[in-house]
Structure 1
Amino acid sequence: MQRQHTRQPSFGAGLNVTPLIDMVFILLIFFVVNSSFVKETGVEVDRPTAQTAERQDQAGILIAVTKDGEVWIEQQQVDVRAVRGHVERLHAESPEASALILADKRSETGIVMQVLDQARLAGIARVAVAASEEL
């Protein structure tokens, strides 16, 4: 009597991808933690230049005024009379935030001053107007 040995297929022999998945998640966490998120106003503004322009830390509230007199906050066009309400809401979310007005160099000074005034009335202590450094 002879025994026949049949080979059973082995399902355990395979590639273990668990360490690879762990490494991908670690890399993902690393890039998320080290990335910086840039806030934008939603429109492109041609800022004026100034010799005394100083680099400022990132402001929490960005307000843009275009050359056509449009006011933009958080990628939404806002009426000048509604600036205070929007800024108050953003100020309530982050009380330590400062405001930065990105005014186009061809925008009307009156509208920029209205926006500045509305931001201050909303309770923002530090309001600045952005300018590019003169080369």
Structure 2
Amino acid sequence: MQLDRPAEPSRKLIGLTPLIDVVFILLLFFMLTSSFIQWQSLDLTMSTGEGSEVSGEPPLMLSMTPDGRLFLPDEPLVLLDDNRVRDLLAGGNKSVILTPNPASSIQQVVWLLDQIGRLGAAGVSVNTGAAE
């Protein structure tokens, strides 16, 4: 006796064409909605330890901690906030010489240079030589 078995349903395969279309639409969506970084330049003067142009006031010497905070080398326990730096820069065309900590990242140094420039420094230099 022969039994009639129902035929197994055939598996429908997913077509690749609609899948590729969806991937391209998603790629286009993310490319159009993403924001691109606006690159800005930062003027930087590297100090060589030799004399530079003579001005009426000596530059403000600042040092930084490994975590990127500013302090005066003469007062190592006094960490400076934005208002204190603005007060130190007030009253003239004062330039700043920043001595970075060897453990600091370049991103922290660049961020501090930008921040000091925004607080009113006439010029910002980086002291790359060893502290004496």
TM-score, normalization: structure 2?
0.47
TM-score, length basis structure 1: 0.47
Which protein shows a greater Rg?
A: 2
